[in-house]
Amino acid sequence: MNILTKSAILAFAGLALVSQAAQAGVTTHYTDGDFFIGFRLSGNTGGSDYLVDLGRLDLSKSFTLSGNSLGSALGNLGLDLKNTFGDAWYSTALFSVVGTAPESLSDVYTTTAGTVFNNDSGNLQMMVHNVWNMGGLYNGSTSTNNSNVGVVQSTTATYSYGDYQVDGNSGAGQYFGYFNDANESHANTGLAFMHLTDIDDGTGTTLGTFSVASNGDVSFISSEAIPEPSTYAMLGVGAAGFIGMMRRRRA
């Protein structure tokens, strides 16, 4: 083997190592005010859940966070979900989204598939602390190789996503169950997303709908979305046309 060939092999090996390092897991970080999306199997069967930090979100407009490749906003969530829950994850895994307002003990955001209840200030503060605790366990964990913000956890771990669900290790009605005993749905079903405060009457304010695509994309359709400038322009054109038509009729 000549020197040139050996050099080429070593260069190729070096590139391979760099590529592997770029896809290795990283230390995760949670910041107060971030939103989580979590996935698990009903009853925590399988022993693992999957938690992703979506960061802070602007819920006044609709958006899609790409989660279908290593280079996308969330990494390859689709591959992680398949690896964690199997090929049929899209129809078997449950998901929910939860978060808090930064530095607030009176604001909670949660998906719901049922009726929100027990919405008093004590339960709100419990929910906020639960999100913080879940963030504390997430913080400093090692991400998967497919997503820098995705973590696979044991459902029996204290403060894990699976632990906080109503049939989790902590027991029904203990944690998220204070709020809503049906805050999850299968990934192929959209979930209403609500904002609850200690001045609500127990119904909360619906902000929109979260859904997850089979490729791992996470979408939010806002009920508070403000029309784009192009929409205003179209409305202006329509109004101008209507006014012109009325003037012609009067003439």
- Give the number of other CB atoms < 10 A from CB of residue 88: 9
- Identity of the residue numbered 113: A
Count up the domains in the chain and report the number: 1
Confidence of residue 178 (pLDDT cuts 50, 70, 90): very low
The CA distance from 125 to 183, in Å, is 18
> Is residue 200 assigned to a domain?
yes
Percent of the chain at pLDDT exceeding 90: 42
> Is residue 147 assigned to a domain?
yes
> Is residue 2 assigned to a domain?
no
Region 42-54: mean pLDDT is 91
Dig out the tokens for 93 from the structure.
């895994």
Which pLDDT belongs to residue 17?
A: 38
Which pLDDT belongs to residue 91?
A: 92
Question: Containing domain of residue 231, as a range?
Answer: 21-250
Which pLDDT belongs to residue 227?
A: 52
Q: What are phi and psi of 230, to 5 degrees?
A: -65, -35
- Identity of the residue numbered 89: W
> Is residue 11 assigned to a domain?
no
Query: Does residue 77 contact residue 148 with C-beta atoms inside 8 Å?
Result: no
> Is residue 89 assigned to a domain?
yes
Region 167-195: mean pLDDT is 68
Give, in order, the Cα–Cα distances in Å from 88 to each of 41, 76, 146, 198. Answer: 11, 16, 19, 39
- pLDDT higher than threshold 90 for residue 20: no
If you write DSSP's letter for every residue of 196-248 in order, what string do you get? Answer: EETTS-SS-EEEEEEEE-TTS-EEEEETTPPPPHHHHHHHHHHHHHHHHHHHH
- Give the number of other CB atoms < 10 A from CB of residue 11: 10
Exposure b/e, 63-72, CB count within 10 A at least 16 = b = eebbbbbeeb
Of residues 154, 177, 156, 157, the one with CA closest to residue 165: 177
Give the model confidence (pLDDT) of 229-239 as tens digits. Answer: 554 454 454 55
> Is residue 3 assigned to a domain?
no
Which residues lie across from 210 on neighbouring strands?
191, 220
> Is residue 12 assigned to a domain?
no
Q: What angle do CA 7, 20, 16 make, to 5 degrees?
A: 20
Query: Does residue 202 contact residue 119 with C-beta atoms inside 8 Å?
Result: yes
Task: Record the pTM.
Answer: 0.77
Query: Does residue 59 contact residue 162 with C-beta atoms inside 8 Å?
Result: no
Confidence of residue 10 (pLDDT cuts 50, 70, 90): very low
